Amino acid sequence: MMKKILEKLLRPRYRYIIIIDAIAAPFLIYALAVLDEKNPVSYAAYLLSAYALAVTVINLTGMVRYVKELVKGDRLRIVSGLRALMHRNRYTARWLDDREFRAEMSLYTGLVINLFYASFRIGMGYMYSSAWFYSLGAYYLVYGFIRFFLMRNVRKNYSDNDEASIKLRECRTYRNCGVLMFAMNAVMGGLAAQMVIENRGNVFSRTAVILSAAYTFYYFILALYNMVSFRKANNMILSAAKNLTFAGAVMAMYSLQTSMLIAFNEGDRTGFRRLMNGITGAGVTVIVLLVSVLMILKGNRRIKELGEKKQ
């Protein structure tokens, strides 16, 4: 009996999970922004959001499949009607049918959002006189530059009819993206280590934390989408974009953690904050450095293989 109840609680129908997520997200934002954390309604919001996150993660694979069926199928008349309307325009029709075009558009969208977030972080650095926020702003500006670098090479490939030249450019772009990620993350690793050693912190509004959380969730959703959508794409620039998005997602998670440990800190818990920032910062730095090194090695290997084929 208990097993059946747990099964129904942890594996509800996918439509119910979507409804729960749609309710939990704004409820949590309202609780964090408006209510006192000791308010009973806040506890309800925390519990509901924790449950929503748990069932979403447990059923993630099935959820992705279910959403894809809704989007591509005819079960929802509003979706099929919107899809038919989009097919009347060549650009929106291409977005629906061309995977690589969607990837290019995601680069443009990500660049705009990234530049906005970089400006937001620099603004927070000015407002709170925080070197950490200035550093994060600079990090995301460089991150945006790498996105622009990828976009530029995607456009070059469209104007090139030589298949060998296209593949070579893709491999070089992939490798160079890895080099830029390595350099950028090495600098951020040093800044994170300095923050942990000196145990720096700044007091700022919870609204700023909520905006940071929204950006973090956006990047994690985008990273998951790219991993699922472009895992079979035979294009190394798309693979580089996927890895770059993943790096941005984990860095955003670390930045959010450092903010939340200060904004929602009760009493003197500097030891706990230093421990958590140290563990997460080291993990994020090692993961992204490993990804960037693997990109450099793979890019060099593919460039060498293409050079041997030409001979």
- Per-residue pLDDT band for 265 (boundaries 50, 70, 90) equals low
At 21, list the tokens: 């997520």
Q: pTM (2 decimals)? A: 0.66
How high does pLDDT run on average in the chain?
A: 77
- What residues contact 57, with CB distance under 8 A and at least 6 apart? none
At 110, list the tokens: 């990500």
d(CA 17, CA 59): 9
pLDDT of the residue at 309 = 63
Q: What is the DSSP string of 217-281?
A: HHHHHHHHHHHHHSTT---HHHHHHHHHHHHHHHHHHHHHHHHHHHHT--SS-HHHHHHHHHHHH
pLDDT of the residue at 268 = 55
Distances (CA, A) of 219 to 129, 150, 202, 234: 26, 18, 24, 23
d(CA 17, CA 55): 7
- Per-residue pLDDT band for 262 (boundaries 50, 70, 90) equals low
d(CA 143, CA 115): 9
The mean per-residue pLDDT over the stretch 253-273 comes to 68
Q: What is the 3-state secondary structure (H, E, C) of 110-150?
A: HHHHHHHHHHHHHHHHHHHCCHHHHHHHHHHHHHHHHHHHH
Do residues 167 and 293 make contact, with C-beta atoms less than 8 angstroms apart? no
Does residue 292 surpass a pLDDT of 80? yes
pLDDT of the residue at 228 = 65
Q: What is the DSSP string of 142-207?
A: HHHHHHHHHHHHHHHHHT---HHHHHHHHHHHHHHHHHHHHHHHHHHHHHHHHHHHHT------HH
pLDDT of the residue at 103 = 67
pLDDT of the residue at 296 = 92
Over residues 201-260, the pLDDT tens digits come to: 555 566 667 777 777 777 777 777 667 666 666 778 878 888 888 888 888 788 777 777
What single-letter amino acid sits at 190? Answer: G
d(CA 292, CA 289): 5
- What residues contact 136, with CB distance under 8 A and at least 6 apart? 121, 125, 255
Over residues 58-100, the pLDDT tens digits come to: 887 777 777 777 666 666 677 677 777 877 877 777 777 776 6
At 193, list the tokens: 């280590």
The mean per-residue pLDDT over the stretch 292-302 comes to 91
pLDDT of the residue at 293 = 92
Of residues 61 and 265, more confidently modeled: 61
d(CA 255, CA 216): 9
- Per-residue pLDDT band for 11 (boundaries 50, 70, 90) equals confident
d(CA 53, CA 57): 6
d(CA 73, CA 79): 8
pLDDT of the residue at 294 = 92
d(CA 235, CA 171): 9
Burial (0-12, 13-18, 19+ Cβ within 10 Å), 197: exposed
Of residues 173 and 35, more confidently modeled: 173
